[in-house]
Amino acid sequence: MFDAVVCAFGLGHFPQPELAVAECVRTLAPGGRIAFAWWDDPARQRIQGLFREAIAEIGVTLPKDVPQGHNVFRFSDSDEFLRLLRGAGLTAVAVTGHAASFFVPDTETLWRGGLGSLVLTGAVIRHQDHATQDLIRTAFERRAKVYKSAHGLTLPIAFKIGSGQRST
């Protein structure tokens, strides 16, 4: 049994989040604490937002061979996040929002980083032909210019931390 369990930005990747959280709670000692971090809505979490908006602008949809799961932004909604934690039997449940800035030297770095780390979004882009990828990239770069700063790009990011305690 553990006194604490922490999961940083994995929640949206679990195919069955309710089962995953229940399993994490099961491993907690009575009175143990748990915390999950997950991204806020893409309108406030601009790294994901820039990519998603560029894809939508071009009208690209998810390719059939990319696995489809639950809505990865479900827990960007505080009420859904709270419902998940309470549903796992936790007490003293809370969800708090946090905001910060992310600095990246240029759009090329952001583009490559996003393609390499945004699993579903990157897969959607990589499954397109080169002409469509170029259209997405042009839309992405135009949108990213809004965040140009003296240091490159300064992007707002936001995330939530949901926490709770196993009853004693």
Domains parsed from the chain with CATH numbers: 2-165 (3.40.50.150)
**Measured between alpha carbons, how far is 55 from 74 in angstroms, rounded to an integer?**
20
Residue corresponding to tokens 């936001």: 158
Kindly state the tokens that stand for 15. Answer: 């195919």
Give, for all 168 residues of the chain, the pLDDT tens digit. Answer: 999 999 999 988 888 999 999 999 999 999 999 999 999 999 999 999 999 999 999 998 777 776 666 688 899 999 999 999 999 999 999 999 999 999 999 999 999 999 998 888 898 999 999 999 999 999 999 999 999 988 899 999 999 999 999 998
Angle formed at CA 160 by CA 91 and CA 29, multiple of 5 degrees: 35
Kindly state the tokens that stand for 48. Answer: 């994901």
**Measured between alpha carbons, how far is 149 from 97 in angstroms, rounded to an integer?**
25
Contact 154, 101 (CB under 8 A): yes
pTM: 0.87
pLDDT digits (tens, 9 = 90+) for 100-124: 999 999 999 999 999 998 888 898 9
Q: What is the DSSP letter of 10?
A: -
